Amino acid sequence: MTFRPSPEVSIAVAGASGRMGHMLIEAIATADDCRLSGALDLAGSSAIGQDATAWLGQTSGVTVTSDLHAGLHNAHCLIDFTRPEGTLAHLKVCRELGVKAVIGTTGFSEAQKAEVADMARDIAIVMAPNMSVGVNVTLKLLQMAAQALATGYDIEIIEAHHRHKVDAPSGTALKMGEVIAQALGRDLQQCAVYERFGHTGERDPSTIGFSTIRGGDIVGDHTVLFAGTGERIEVTHKSSSRATYVQGSLRAVRFLAAHPRGLFDMFDVLNLR
């Protein structure tokens, strides 16, 4: 399938009965330039066979399905906020059908990321651990801060999410670490510290520390602490609603309209390079 610019972009949503799925479907239904063309969910979901907007008291004509080909065959683009294994299965069918993809799934291993990159040789993919416009502007600010505070400052990343989140640290926290490490000329895999317990000795100034909080219904809080002698600088982003991820995802869909293939992130979408 080749994308042809038109007044409406046809979008399929993975995880259609989940919290993000519902928010994406509602946003697509109210966007003038988007149309819901498919809704995917797990075979055991109670939503299978129902209209995708039934929960809104509306009729879309799109039935929630676990059949990937049926759910994707009319789509220009898939938006996927599920889990790595499911996302990879979805992308394989996207590649087969020529459907582009916006991926907000987190928790990918390095090998899984390589699989996504390989698929991007044939289809256009925006993949980012956080689709929020504000978070990605924060990443740019962190890049600038790290370059200016390259010596004499210890760096710690603290993140908090709801009790249902299954991966830690969050994809956003890891992305913050990657951006900072790159700005400092370091390899995050070599300098990251994810656990501290017992007699740890003095802090290695070349490390980047991570702390994780899980509880309640916290949507997503991230703070990066640059702690120096006599001062500390804190860069914080707090999400109060998943709506920001939804609007960022739609911006990513629109960005992909001009790209037939390739792997992109939200810095590309927002022109922050």
Q: Are 221 and 239 in contact (CB under 8 A)?
A: yes
Question: Six-digit token pair at 111?
Answer: 């090998």
Question: Six-digit token pair at 264?
Answer: 């992109």
| 161 in active site | yes
Beta strand pairing status for 34-40 and 9-14? parallel
Measure Cα distances from 3 to 9, 253, 261, 262 in Å.
9, 12, 11, 14
Q: Is the peptide bond before 169 cis (omega within 30 degrees of 0)?
A: yes
E strand or H helix at 104: none
Q: Are 178 and 237 in contact (CB under 8 A)?
A: no
Distance CA 203, CA 219 (A): 30
Q: Are 123 and 252 in contact (CB under 8 A)?
A: no
Helices (H), the chain: 19-30, 68-72, 84-97, 110-119, 133-148, 171-184, 188-191, 243-256, 266-269
Classify residue 152 as left (phi > 0), alpha (psi -120 to 50) or beta. left
Catalytic residue among 76, 90, 100, 161: 161
Q: Are 90 and 22 in contact (CB under 8 A)?
A: no
| 238 in active site | no
Could you list the active site residues? 161, 165
